[in-house]
Amino acid sequence: MNDADTLAKALAFLPHGPEFRFVDRLTALEPGVRGEGEYTVRGDEPFLRGHFPGDPMMPGVLLVEAAAQLAGIVAQSDPNHAPMPGLKLTALRGVKILGTARPGETICLRAELKARLGNLVHATATAMVGGNIVLQTEVTLAGGA
């Protein structure tokens, strides 16, 4: 499902305020299975003032957050499972930060759910910039029952 309404509704599952959203738009979604999204580093984000002055770049930990947010959108859009209240990142495995993004660059995110067990969701995710992988990770998310 990739129509604009479906993608817009799926983005609404992201509980974060606009100051802490690292998925601007979804480009593909197979609800409950996998998704693709993008975040463009605008250059005016407050964290860039200190990371690093004169040489701003997206912090690696925020690349991980972007990947977890996309995995959460995929999980919450699953038509076979009710959305979980309070879904949060609870574990990371195999995190490899291989690069970064700078102002004006778009981060292309991919997430695929690998398993669900009760209120736990396990997913793999990657982030790419300019065709180069900048992040590979596995994330575990947990929500209320």
Q: Domain ranges in the chain?
A: 4-142
Question: Catalytic residue numbers?
Answer: 51
Interval 91-103 mean pLDDT: 98
Euclidean distance between CA atoms 59 and 99, whole angstroms: 10
pLDDT band at 13 (very low <50, low <70, confident <90, very high): confident
Among the residue ranges 3-12, 33-42, 53-62, 97-106, the one predicted with the least confidence is 3-12
Query: What was the pLDDT predicted at 18?
Result: 86
**CA dist., res. 121 & res. 101, Å (int):** 27
Count Cβ neighbours within 10 Å for each residue of 72-89 and write b for 16 or more, e otherwise: bbbbbbbeeeeebeebeb
Higher per-residue pLDDT: 17 or 79 = 79
Q: In this predicted structure, what is the pLDDT of residue 128? A: 98
Give how far Cα 128 sits from Cα of 66, 79, 115, 145, Å. Answer: 12, 28, 23, 33
For 4-142, the fitting CATH number among 3.10.20.740, 3.90.320.10, 3.10.129.10, 3.90.180.10 is: 3.10.129.10
